[in-house]
Structure 1
Amino acid sequence: MNKLLLVLIFIISSSITSESNEYIERQGQVTFFSYTSVENIQATNNQVLSLFNPEKEEIAVSILMRAFVFKKSLMHEHFNESYIESDLYPKATFNGRIEDLDLTNEGTQTRIIKGDFTLKDITKPITIKADITKTSDGFTIAGTLDVLIDDYNINVPPLLSPNISKKIEVSFNFNYAPYEK
């Protein structure tokens, strides 16, 4: 019994004192853009949370859907109430792995990130091409991807279908700092 207690104390204390190699971004930026001949729609969210573990090549992102800011308040209302249904699906998430990340590279490297993107409780595998830069105090990860609205059951009324593209361009920029627990 005493030996088990000593082992547990050792494990807990070593995990507390060990150096963490995790990074966090609390105010990441995600922007989406929909181009049509009738009207362009763009929104930006500067309240995106992301965790990054370079040694494990893992990244996780959580996007609060109501935090997107539009130029027109009516677009914001339609986005949250009709298309994304933010009351039912308040967040979108991404969990993925970066392929072949070179931690010795001091410059920018372009890498593929593969993972699962969840929007409106629908999870799809996606592949993202991203630029990863090692900075003096962390990392920056930026890139773009296309999201098809049909993949996530985003229903657009026929009357408004000329106003909204079937493919939405999503851009992101995360500046990670060391995560202190």
Structure 2
Amino acid sequence: MNKIFTFLFLLTFIADFDSKPNQFIANQGQVSFFSYTPVENIEAKNNQVLSLLDTSNSEIAISMLMRAFIFKKALMYEHFNESYIESDIHPKANFDGKIIDFDASLRESQTRIIKGTLTIHGISKEMDIKATIELKDDAYVISGSFDVVVKDFDIKIPPILASNIAKTINVMFKFEYKPYEE
């Protein structure tokens, strides 16, 4: 009996010693966007973005509620959700992708391309996004920016307001991943 107990203890210890977490979660990722126009710049931030990172296969998934974006003006929030994004019909934006040539063991910063599918306003589009990845104290930080062309996602802008809204929106992101524990 004592030998069985010792064997099970060693087996558990070896399994725990060898295993490193390969699934990470960012509960409060940050996504913001900026649109320059001659009339007024439009800026919004969303700090309630959920993301999962699996370092064993370099996959990443991101999901966010569109109504969680915060604007400087209430009217901008209203127009964004009701007229452009139609948040009642399309409440979320999602991204599913794979980090190309990702080395989960590197401690120094690495710049990689994330290939994946971005879904906004019910439209999905393939994207290549450049990102910086850093490993700090067993947690990953992934950040970067990319441009979204408004017409690619079938977002309708009334002709009278076309000069007030940029045709391309710059999106910035930052996620701090911690090991996922069930």
TM over 0.5, yes or no? yes
Unaligned runs of 5+ in 1: 1-16
The amino acid of 1:113's aligned partner reads I
Count of residues in correspondence between the two structures: 165
1:19 offset after TM fit, Å?
A: 6.0
| Segment of structure 1 superposing worse, 95-104 or 59-68 | 95-104
Match of 1:14 in 2: none
Equivalent residues in 2 for 1:144-155, closer than 5 Å:
144-155=145-156
The amino acid of 1:154's aligned partner reads I
The 1:19/1:104 distance shift into structure 2, 3 A limit, reads closer
Match of 1:141 in 2: 142
Equivalent residues in 2 for 1:6-21, closer than 5 Å:
20-21=21-22
- Secondary structure in structure 1 of the residue aligned to 2:160: coil
Match of 1:159 in 2: 160
Distance 2:37 2:115 in 1: 29
1:56 aligns with 2:57: yes
Distance 2:151 2:104 in 1: 37
Output the TM-score relative to the length of structure 1: 0.88
1:55 offset after TM fit, Å?
A: 1.8
Distance 1:120 1:164 in 2: 17
The higher radius of gyration belongs to 2
1:73 aligns with 2:74: yes
For residues 132-152 of structure 1, what are the alpha-carbon distances to aligned partners after superposition, in whole Å with 9 as ceiling and x for unaligned? 001113100001010001001
Q: Where do 4+ consecutive residues of structure 1 move more than 6 Å?
A: none
1:20 offset after TM fit, Å?
A: 4.2
Unaligned runs of 5+ in 2: 1-15
Distance 2:25 2:90 in 1: 24
Match of 1:85 in 2: 86
- Secondary structure in structure 2 of the residue aligned to 1:36: coil
The amino acid of 1:109's aligned partner reads Q
| Segment of structure 1 superposing worse, 29-38 or 19-28 | 19-28
Output the TM-score relative to the length of structure 2: 0.88
